[in-house]
Structure 1
């Protein structure tokens, strides 16, 4: 139970459970006596304030006790990143920040190389995200599992936020947007 005396927004740290593969989710559904159906669930929507987050066991127990017979789920895998994926992400970030992809590449060259090296060690057969969702009385209840994986956007934003001569000219005026984007990842 949460009790507050202030009518202000309270930011709280969310600890996510590990993402589960489809077979592991189905085993959990079977234990709870529920059927699970794959769906394309949007990760961003799971973090909206109107979606009630719960631990997987609690969500499945609640759904079962509420008379729900089925839930939807989505499991996301990311292949290993390569130069084409880096180009795609850098181009997207450059558009978002309204700066040149070449500036990002030059300022963050070392970080991009480290990202590719780190991502190459990641097991691409392990899911990155898993989502389970149930609707009860028009309210969405969800479980969101996540396994750690390197995020190029976060690495680049952190480096650009620290500046540098080229980054300062091309980026510092847009730093507040980048800082907001960086904070959204946490």
Structure 2
């Protein structure tokens, strides 16, 4: 029996099973007597919308007991990151944080290079994540398999959260410019000095 005293939702870490290859998934489906069909599934879009099973075996046993004859699945592989991928991710992150991607590159140059070096050692033949889902009476049920892989956004956000002079300077300058933009030149007090 599960007992909780939390009356509000608190994000908790969930340990997912490792991602499986298509052949591994097919073997698991066959063992349960369920057909599996490849589909274009996106883990990000579906995470909040599904009843999630932590174990693939439990999901398939539930599907079988519920009379489901088939499930859909998707397996995702990532190629090694290159400078183009770094640029794409930093541009997006810069937009999200409303800070220049160039500042992020300056502040996090060491972490970005460490990310590229670490990602270059990753085996691209190992899937990054795999998803299996089924529907029972209009409710979606899913299993997610995840393998650890370097995440640029994570290391960059950690570095920015710890701070850096370039990031600090950029935020101060943006705030100063915004303050000036809000005032008419006639309204600026003579004793205010912007540095």
| Bin of the TM-score, shorter chain as denominator length | 0.7 to 0.9
Runs of 4+ in 1 over 4 A off after TM superposition: none
Please give the alpha-carbon distance, in whole angstroms, between the structure 1 residues aligned to 2:27 and 2:84: 37
- Number of residues of Structure 1 aligned to a counterpart in Structure 2: 171
Please say if 1:68 is aligned against 2:75.
Answer: no
- 1:11 Cα deviation after fit: 3.4
Corresponding residue for 1:82?
82
Please say if 1:104 is aligned against 2:104.
Answer: yes
If you compute each CA radius of gyration, which structure gives the higher value, 1 or 2? 2
Give the alignment of 1:13-92 within 5 angstroms: 13-48=13-48, 50-54=49-53, 55-92=55-92
TM norm structure 2: 0.83
- 1:119 Cα deviation after fit: 0.2
* Contiguous gaps of at least 5 residues in structure 1: 173-186
TM norm structure 1: 0.87
Q: Deviations over 1:24-53 (max 9, x none)?
A: 1001000010111111112113321x4111
Structure 1 pair 10–99 and aligned structure 2 pair: CA distance change class (3 A): closer
Please give the alpha-carbon distance, in whole angstroms, between the structure 1 residues aligned to 2:144 and 2:96: 26
- 1:73 Cα deviation after fit: 0.5
Structure 1 pair 101–12 and aligned structure 2 pair: CA distance change class (3 A): closer
Over aligned residues, Cα RMSD in angstroms? Answer: 1.4
Please say if 1:136 is aligned against 2:126.
Answer: no
- 1:168 Cα deviation after fit: 1.5
Corresponding residue for 1:176?
none
- 1:57 Cα deviation after fit: 0.1
* Contiguous gaps of at least 5 residues in structure 2: 173-195
- 1:6 Cα deviation after fit: 4.5
